[in-house]
Amino acid sequence: MAKNIYGYGEISDPVTINPSDVPSKVAIPDVTISGANVLVDWVKPNENFATIDLYEIVFLKSDAFYGKDNINCNGNDPAIVTAT
C-alpha cells in the first residue's frame, strides 16, 4: 500500500517480474576449416531474460586487421549458432 499527500492508495495485485541483464558472453567457438571455408560453431549463451537480437562476428584477416563478412556470415539471425 502506498501513501501520498492525498492519502493511502488501493492495494494492487502482486506482480512477478524477471529483471533482465545483458546476455552472457559467448564461449570460445569451435572453428573448423573445410577447403576455402571456415565453419564457426558456438553454444548459444544464457540470454538473462534479454533477447539476443544478433551476433557480431569479427575475423582477423590476413592483412592483420579485423573485419566482418556480412555476405557469408552476417550474424543477423540470433537463431543461427553456426556460420560458414
The confidence score (pLDDT) of residue 40 equals: 83
Q: What is the pTM of this model?
A: 0.57
What is the full per-residue pLDDT of the chain (84 aa) written as tens digits? 788 899 898 888 888 888 889 889 989 988 888 888 888 888 889 989 888 888 888 888 888 899 887 777 767 766 666 554
Q: How far is CA 40 from CA 18, 23, 34, 81, in A?
A: 32, 20, 11, 8
Nearby residues of 76 by Cβ (< 8 Å), 6 or more positions away: 54
Q: What are phi and psi of 27, to 5 degrees?
A: -65, 165
Q: Is the distance from CB of 58 to CB of 66 less than 8 angstroms? A: yes
**Looking up cell 570460445, which residue turns up?**
28
For the chain, first and last CA: distance in Å?
A: 56
